[in-house]
Structure 1
Amino acid sequence: MRRADRLFQIIQILRRSARPITASMLAAELEVTIRTVYRDVADLIAQCVPIRGEAGVGYVIDRDYDMPPLMLSTDELEAAVLGAQWVADRGDPGLANAARDLLAKIANVVPDHLRPFIADPGVGAAPARATSVDGLDMARLRAAIRAGCKVRIRYRDKAGRASERVVWPVIVGYADTVRLLAAWCELRQAFRHFRADRIEAAVFLDERFERRPGDLRRDWKCHFEAERGVRLP
């Protein structure tokens, strides 16, 4: 890997991580020595890239830092194509159309020699099985999550019991055949997960919940990781 590419990759690794990244982690991913990482990071800082580091903790980059758009590598392009294929096949109608639009936009800006990676890709997502029908408007649900607004739902559980509750939507999970809403439930005063196909009705409220969406999402991730014994990205 060219040094210029490595410096760019260090920035990309730091930008995509929500947690500090140690020099040893960078060295392992870049397949270089820790000493090389120290030198590269020092050079980036000297070029006014806002990277901060603390011994024993790791490096972080200022979240407001931005760079001019750079050309995608073939691996990055194939990753984008594969992800867009998956979403186009399994996402709700709004996201599926957005995924197709994304591929069209990428195809319009990449050089001619990279367009075959989109028109005739060497990667592909397996065809989806029949997806259950959502019981609410997923585009409006995603908008409610972004705005931090409450939703009143009528839900029928696996045993057929119906209930009405007001929830604070946190995140929508997209599985192969079903979509799941993770939310704080005012009725249970706890995080709950609801299958979208079991939501029989939904009213999108203008009332905002008493937490910042990002803070609520972090609390849900901690809850999920503790409950399932897994670490979310």
Structure 2
Amino acid sequence: MRKASRLFEIIQILRLAAHPITALEISEKLEVSERSIYRDIAALQAMRVPIEGERGIGYILRPGFHLPPLMFTPEETEAIVLGMALTRRTADRELREASVRVLDKIAAAVPGPLKDAIVSRSLYAWGRVAQAPEAIDFAMIRRAIRDEEKLDIDYVNEQQQPTTRRIRPIAVIHYAEAAVIVGWCELRDAIRNFRVDRVSACRATGAHFRREGDRLRKLWVAGWDSSGQNTGSA
């Protein structure tokens, strides 16, 4: 989780807490170290966010502090509703659960007429929910993309040949029939697409490709054909 996102989540956790919450409890929720939370709280306090408390006792957010409200047009609200409905049909369980929380947070913050667009259930994404693959943890894939961490995957290509690849993941594409990891394949020395249903194992490596992600995504986009598709298979 990037620091900016973590700072926002800490404020949200404190805002919703009914009693003082310790740095340890926050760190467990966000899956980071307790020391990181102490640094983040100090950073928030330096930005004049009214957090009170101390180590070992817990922290609270002084009443009256609010994040700037999100304001959307009816069309923007409907776009969010439809986007979250589509997300709930993907194979990524964590994102499916997050889509529900997104709508709950927005519904709690927006004015009545816009809230109606969220709760009315007038927009639907139809079709079956994609099957989550057993060998892929989408949360790990997304984290590797954000952190620019290389992955090792055991893969079966179109010719049914098993192979092990080290890749630099840069994107995930969700289709109705399958999901695809896009990454720089160090074996092929090129951008390749890996269907997740052909991956039998996926492992984090601890090796990184810092500051290369944006360049590789631009290279990927530059290789799209006129239909908007990138045809580089593994």
TM-score, normalised to structure 1, is 0.65
Are residues 210 and 120 of structure 1, via their aligned partners in 2, closer, same or farther at CA, if it must alter by over 3 Å?
closer
1:52 corresponding residue in structure 2: none
**Are the counterparts in 2 of residues 131 and 176 from structure 1 also a CA contact under 8 Å?**
no
Give 1:127 deviation, angstroms: 2.6
CA distance in 1, matches of 2:208, 2:130: 35
The aligned runs of 1:83-98 (5 Å cut-off) are 83-98=83-98
Query: Residue 166 of structure 1 aligns to which amino acid in structure 2?
Result: R
Gaps of 5+ in 1: 1-67
Query: Residue 92 of structure 2 aligns to which amino acid in structure 1?
Result: D
1:159 corresponding residue in structure 2: 159
**Are the counterparts in 2 of residues 128 and 177 from structure 1 also a CA contact under 8 Å?**
no
- Indicate yes or no: 2:168 matched with 1:168: yes
Structure 1 counterpart SS, 2:123? coil
1:229 corresponding residue in structure 2: 226
Structure 1 counterpart SS, 2:88? helix
- CA RMSD after TM alignment: 1.9
1:184 corresponding residue in structure 2: 184
Percent identity between the two aligned chains: 32
2:128 corresponding residue in structure 1: 128
Give 1:212 deviation, angstroms: 2.1
1:102 corresponding residue in structure 2: 102
**Are the counterparts in 1 of residues 184 and 191 from structure 2 also a CA contact under 8 Å?**
yes
**Are the counterparts in 2 of residues 134 and 179 from structure 1 also a CA contact under 8 Å?**
no
- Indicate yes or no: 2:199 matched with 1:199: yes
Are residues 107 and 70 of structure 1, via their aligned partners in 2, closer, same or farther at CA, if it must alter by over 3 Å?
closer
CA distances 1:78-108 after superposition (whole Å, capped 9, x unpaired):
1100000110122401111111110111110
Query: Residue 187 of structure 2 aligns to which amino acid in structure 1?
Result: L
1:41 corresponding residue in structure 2: none
Query: Residue 164 of structure 1 aligns to which amino acid in structure 2?
Result: T
CA distance in 2, matches of 1:183, 1:205: 15
**Are the counterparts in 2 of residues 153 and 202 from structure 1 also a CA contact under 8 Å?**
yes
Give 1:210 deviation, angstroms: 5.9
**Are the counterparts in 2 of residues 155 and 163 from structure 1 also a CA contact under 8 Å?**
yes
TM-score, normalised to structure 2, is 0.64
Query: Residue 102 of structure 1 aligns to which amino acid in structure 2?
Result: V
CA distance in 1, matches of 2:154, 2:86: 30
Give 1:171 deviation, angstroms: 0.3
Structure 2 counterpart SS, 1:72? coil
CA distance in 1, matches of 2:221, 2:227: 10
Query: Residue 229 of structure 1 aligns to which amino acid in structure 2?
Result: S
